Structure 1
Amino acid sequence: MIRQQSFSRYLSSSRTLFSESARTARRRRIALAAVIGATVLLAAAFQPAKAADAPASGPAAASAANSAAASVPAVAPASAPAAAAAPATPGAASAPVGEEMVIRTMGPISYVCGGIAADQQAKLREREKNFNLGVLFTQGANGEYLADVDVKLTRDGQTVAQFRAGGPRCLIRAPEGSYNIEATYKGQPKAIKISTGTRNAQLRW
């Protein structure tokens, strides 16, 4: 009877110790799980902040960079300064096609060229009486008018005027005498000798 009571006490004590050990282990597991859960939550909370602070990379970054570049207005390179006008060559002048007919003077020689349009032809006829030389530049069998003919007027072997005709007809005022008119069109030269008072000379290519 005494032995049975002792065994019962031992068994009861063992159960009590086992129960306390189990409860302690369970409490430790619960505490560990709580710590792990808190760590995970903190890591998740800080992760977006780090992602926001990190610089963008990859295709998304390239797209953002391209968008930013597109939003910046392009700056055109500074244009080159306009070329300075070429100084006039002594004894030579140029009158481009279509320029208003202007009387030009070089030393004792004055001239005016034009006659492409009907109104220019009429103006030349009005001015003809004030000039004592005249020459017409044409080409082909039909006598098509020419412009941009290089003209050189010489007398006794000396060049007295040199210019580019801006039209097919040139009127020239020069001291009395005979002159050689040397004209070049597209590299092909022509020449004629005329005296003052001749206003209907013609050079044909």
Structure 2
Amino acid sequence: MNQQHLRLAALIGAAMALACPLQARAAADDLVIRTMGPVSYVCGGVAEDERQALAAREKDFNIGILFTQGAAGEFLSDVAVKLVRDEQEVATFRAAGPRCLIRAPEGSYNIEATYNGQARSIKVSTGTRNAQLRW
């Protein structure tokens, strides 16, 4: 390899090294907090950088839930979610990833979720950060 090829290879390597953290940061920045009435939520966590971003934000939310399937606990996304309190629907959304963080007024809630036409539900109280629904 001549000097010109070596310089070009070094430049490409440097550009790739810079691009990888930028891509990871961009994916984590895509985690948008949405608000519906008194409830705010953010979902994600398919990729490692999203899981880290969610973990960093967890202190700002008072409910956390994970959606999985099968014995191995494979992550699910595109889950239809309803948050219900005192038989009143408080929020509905589609989970864009397996982990959702929710900020809701203090109290107890039913999380009703549907994936591929199959419904599951779990009762949680604010402060519950590790609820899980498995299909």
The TM-score by the shorter chain falls in which range?
0.7 to 0.9
Alpha-carbon distance in structure 1 between the residues aligned to 2:32 and 2:52: 14
Which sections of structure 1, spanning at least 5 residues, go unmatched?
1-97
More strand by share: 2
Q: For the residues of structure 1 that align with 2:40 and 2:115, how far apart are their CA atoms?
A: 22
Aligned length: 108
The residue aligned with 1:175 is: 105
Counterparts of 1:189-200 in structure 2 under 5 Å? 189-200=119-130
Aligned to 1:145: 75
Check conservation: 1:114, 1:121, Cα contact below 8 A.
yes
Counterpart of 2:105 in structure 1: which amino acid? P
Other structure's SS at 1:199 match: coil
How far apart, CA to CA, are the structure 1 residues paired with 2:119 and 2:41?
20
2:131 counterpart residue number: 201
What is the aligned partner in structure 1 of residue 90 from structure 2?
160
Q: Could you tell me which residue of structure 2 aligns to residue 106 of structure 1?
A: 36
Look up the match of 1:186: 116
Q: Following superposition of structure 1 onto structure 2, how do residues 121-136 of structure 1 map, counting pairs within 5 Å?
A: 121-136=51-66
TM-score, scaled relative to structure 2 = 0.78
Whose radius of gyration is greater, 1 or 2?
1
Any stretches of 5+ residues in structure 2 without a counterpart? 1-27
AA matched with 2:65: V
Q: Percent identity?
A: 72
**Between Structure 1 and Structure 2, which shows a larger proportion of helix residues?**
1
SS state at 1:105 partner: strand
Aligned-partner residue type, residue 62 of structure 2? N
Instruction: Check the 8 A contact 1:134/1:170 in 2, yes or no.
Output: yes
Relative contact order higher in (CA < 8 Å, ≥ 6 apart): 2
Normalised by the length of structure 1, the TM-score is: 0.52
